[in-house]
Amino acid sequence: MARGRGNFNSNGKQKDEGEKVKISKESLKQALVLFTYLKPYRTKFILSMVFIALSAFTTSLFPFFLGKMIDAASPGGSAGMMGGAPSMIEGLGLKEVKWTLNFTLILIFVQLSFQTIFSFMRVYLLTEVGEKSLADMRKDVYSKLLSMPMSYFTEKRVGELSNRISSDLSQIQDAISFTLAEFLRGIFTLVIGLGFIFWISTKLALVMLAVVPVIAVLAVVFGMRIRKMARKAQDQLAESGTIVQETFQGISIVKAFTSEVYEISRYVKSVYAVVDTAIANARYRGAFISFMIFSVFGAIAFVMWYGANMIQTGELTMGSLTMFVIFSMFVGGTFAGFADMFSQLQKTLGATQSVREILRTEGEPVELTPIAIESQYVLKGNVTFKQVAFSYPSRNDVSVLKDITLTANNGEQIALVGPSGAGKSTIAGLLLKFYEPTSGSIWFDDKNSTTFPLTQLRKQMAFVPQDVILFGGTISENIAYGKLGATAEEIADAARKANAHDFISKFPEGYETIVGERGIKLSGGQRQRIAIARAILKDPAILILDEATSSLDSESEQLVQEALDNLMKNRTSFVIAHRLSTIRNAHKIVVIDKGTVAEQGSHEQLMANNGLYRKLNDMQFEFGSVVK
């Protein structure tokens, strides 16, 4: 995939950062719609929420017991001496409790045991819920994307699309199994922590609250600025990543043109741009970190000093001060965490928006479950184009086809020839109903194409393009793509007819040889013959070949041509050909020029006509005779 550098810029950013969206009522509402995916797992989801609350609560008991332990060891400060709220202690029935050193230790271990169970359960349950609901969501998004019309894919860069989807969905997954839990835990911790702080000493709590929020707000503002600057460095890094990607993708060009020096200098330049930005950021980051160290520790010292004074006057015990400090750290830490969660939430809303957008888009009416061809839709193979005009939805102003009228009778071979850009592939696209004609109509056996369900029609056609893409998997799976559930015999039979059996059998693993991106590389001619075997196995009423032999050398062209002749027998075939020698025997040759039918007839008729066909033919013949 060759991406322009400009394109990647935004793409790379999306990958690393995700798009942030303002938190508004509308965006929240959209996000909540996706919560319907949690519905099947709601029991477990609610249970995990309960465990989050329980684990937050048990965590808060830790500093409480710790404080009690210290008090138990302090001279004179054992049972029940609390600053603040003695009445509450009575209310909780804690007055009778004898807080000894050993007892507090036992309590701590009891608390820790519960805590481990709660934490385990919350992580486990929430991950299960998050993974399962996300898998459902992935399936829906993928199905929806697959049923999008062709124009959707030509207008969007497919690589970007799939990157985008996978990063958006992981963002949502993170939000469900991580951010949400952190958020709830934060809320619980905050409430419980603040409660304890005020219970221990209202006076000290107020002193602390006078200092901490000021620092917290400064930290958040400062932090946001730093993040923004970090993003710039990240973008620049993504750009240098593109250079690496591009050069490796086109490594044969780089080496052939000895452009190593040029590429290295390009890379070094972009890498140093990152360095410059990072160093500029370092000033802010340094200032931020020193400020935070100073103010956090300063605040702790100040609160401790105040609390120590209270111990001297007997208002507070040593243990209570310890509790207080630990609780304050909990509260402070939670505050700091909220800033990050807020930005996570924004990103998640951005992600849900684009996922929702896809789920809401109307796709083509293709069947997403296996269906059989219904008898009333079985094609005989007669095709008629009646004054078809067409422009691509993305280029409304250019009429690619202006007036195409042609007829193909059951079993005939129709060759479409003409200069490149004339509109031949577009005609193939219209046949497959990738697009609808802007005006005019296409008829299959006296029925307007619009009356056919899309899947019924496409099930009866086979398409062999110029560049055959094999899917990752075995050769046999790739051939069976034309007919799911075909037997090994059928597959081998199709391969034999496609002149592919011999070369396939020569592989050590035969039909089980893995092909595709991670498998072995096949030559153009070999891939073409596998595609033909695929089409033979499908046994379609209508066959469309778009320059199926154009990129082949003459030896494999001959093998492929033989295979194609086998394939075209007894079915209507549209053959788009570049080399006119291959279609000389077609029943009808239709010459397309600038979106219109320039002339049509048999080879002899068109040669006698002295028109465009003759001109193209003569040109190729001269060229051919020089080369051969």
Task: Indicate whether 399 belongs to the interface with ligand ADP (CB under 6 A).
Answer: no
CB of 416 to ligand ADP, least distance (A): 8
Q: How many residues bind ligand ADP (CB under 6 A)?
A: 12
**Residue 28, Cα to own-chain centre: how many angstroms?**
22
Is residue 396 within the footprint of ligand ADP (CB under 6 A)? no
* 549 is an interface residue for Mg ion by CB under 5 A: no
DSSP 469-483: PPPSEEHHHHHHTTS
Q: Per-residue x/- marks for Mg ion, 418-437, CB under 5 A?
A: -------x------------
- What DSSP letter does each residue of 130-164 carry, written as one string? HHHHHHHHHHHHHHHHHTS-HHHHHHS-HHHHHHH
C-alpha 214: how far from its chain's center? 41
- Applying CB under 6 A, does 425 fall inside the site for ligand ADP? yes
Determine the interface stretch with ligand ADP among 197-205, 369-377, 416-424, 613-621 (rule: CB under 6 A): 416-424
Distance CA 484, CA 371 (A): 12
> Which among ligand ADP, Mg ion, none contacts residue 449 (Cβ within 5 to 8 A by kind)?
none
| Cβ nearer to ligand ADP, comparing 533 with 592 | 592
Q: What angle is formed at CA 489 by the lines to CA 484 and CA 490, rounded to 5 degrees? A: 45
State which of residues 72, 205, 400, 606 lies at the interface with ligand ADP (CB under 6 A). Answer: 400
Question: At its nearest, how many Å lie between ligand ADP and the CB of residue 154?
Answer: 4
Query: If binding is defined by CB under 6 A, does position 470 make contact with ligand ADP?
Result: no
CB 223 within 8 A of CB 339: yes
Q: How many residues does the chain have?
A: 628
Footprint of ligand ADP on 294-353 (CB under 6 A):
none
By CB under 6 A, tell whether 424 contacts ligand ADP: yes
Shortest distance, position 428 Cβ to ligand ADP, whole Å = 8
Distance between terminal CA atoms of the chain?
35
Give the count of beta carbons closer than 10 Å to the beta carbon of residue 308.
12
* DSSP secondary structure code for residue 176 in this structure: I
Kindly list the distances between the CA atom of residue 527 and the CA atoms of 404, 469, 475, 521, 539, in Å, as whole numbers in the listed order: 32, 8, 10, 9, 19
- Count of residues of this chain found to bind Mg ion when the rule CB under 5 A is applied: 1
Q: Which of 22, 25, 98, 395 binds ligand ADP (CB under 6 A)?
A: 395
User: Do 445 and 380 meet the contact criterion of CB atoms below 8 Å apart?
Assistant: yes
Please report whether residue 354 would count as binding ligand ADP according to CB under 6 A.
Answer: no
Residues 144-163 interacting with ligand ADP (rule: CB under 6 A): 154
CA-to-CA separations, 611 to 406, 424, 513, 621, in angstroms, rounded = 18, 18, 49, 16
CB nearer to ligand ADP: pick between 149 and 319: 149
* Member of 208, 379, 404, 422 binding ligand ADP (CB under 6 A): 422
Q: Which residue in the set 86, 213, 298, 421 belongs to the binding site for ligand ADP (CB under 6 A)?
A: 421
- The minimum distance between CB 429 and ligand ADP, in angstroms, equals 7
The string over 510-529, giving b where at least 16 C-beta atoms fall within 10 Å of a residue's C-beta and e elsewhere, is ebebbbbeebeebebbbbbb
Q: What are phi and psi for residue 379, nearest 5 degrees?
A: -90, 140
- 48 part of the interface to Mg ion, by CB under 5 A: no
Choice between 180 and 545, CB closer to Mg ion = 545
Binding to ligand ADP by residue 86, rule CB under 6 A? no
Tell me how far the alpha carbon of residue 402 is from its chain's centroid.
Answer: 38
Stretch that binds ligand ADP, among 283-291, 392-400, 405-413, 442-450 (CB under 6 A): 392-400
Segments in 250-259 forming alpha helices (H): 251-256
Residues that bind ligand ADP (CB under 6 A): 154, 392, 394-395, 400, 420-426
Residues that bind Mg ion (CB under 5 A): 425
